[in-house]
Amino acid sequence: MASGNIMRLDRLLTTLGEGTRAQVKEMVRAGRVTVCGVPARDSGMQVDAGSMEVRLDGRRLEYKAVRHVMLNKPQGTLTAARDKKQKTVMDLLPPLYAAMGCMPAGRLDKDTEGLLIITSDGQLAHRIISPKKDVSKVYFARVSGVLGEDDIAAFAAGLHIADSDGAFDAKPAGLEIVSTDGACSEVRVRVSEGKYHQVKRMLASRGAPVVYLRREKIGALSLDPALAPGQWRELTEEEVALLDV
């Protein structure tokens, strides 16, 4: 039964990031591509990407109409689709994902680590970042300074931020003090909006500048602890459902 993903063979291969149209045509001419076990002779042949077995050099190619990736973003990498001078999060993934239109859903600062969703589903990305959806984000932070009960209450009441980046009223947020040693503190912050450098600015306003920041959770989805900074994997169907806010 047709899956509804009928397309030219050369388009399928280019969409999967296997090469340019010219390179793909040469692969077919060289007999490197098979469709349902038979060598393809025409790069323009119609294939059902969802149900027909297509192989390149014996390797089965997996087509998905939509792709979702969980990335543990490392420090020093821009959250952007592309940049002429600096490395971006898309540079950490195989070309397949850019070819399929995957984009970061929201942003993390260059020096911030942690959970970032990269998806080809624009509607899902919009739901994650839309202020109307109030999707919570949880961050772990190491700060210079000691925080206490007054700071927890101030976060819960909503902070007024006024600094060199401007002024705004932050919505009520959660602050959990994980540990403190008398000079530094480790905390978790839960926010439901994404103003510019928000978590850093909120903590700085309480006299606790951030020295390390990592996002651990978006909505009900947590960062996979098995992923080291710079590592990624595709989301499971169950994980995608957790983001269906």
Catalytic residues: 109
Which structure tokens are listed for 77?
């990498």
Contact present, 233 and 227 (Cβ < 8 Å): yes
Which structure tokens are listed for 164?
């060199």
Q: What is the DSSP letter of 78?
A: B
CA atoms lying within 13 Å on the CB side of residue 103: 13
Sort residue 196 into left (φ over 0), alpha (ψ -120 to 50) or beta: beta
Between the CA atoms of 129, 131, 134 and 137, what dihedral angle is there, to the nearest 10 degrees?
50
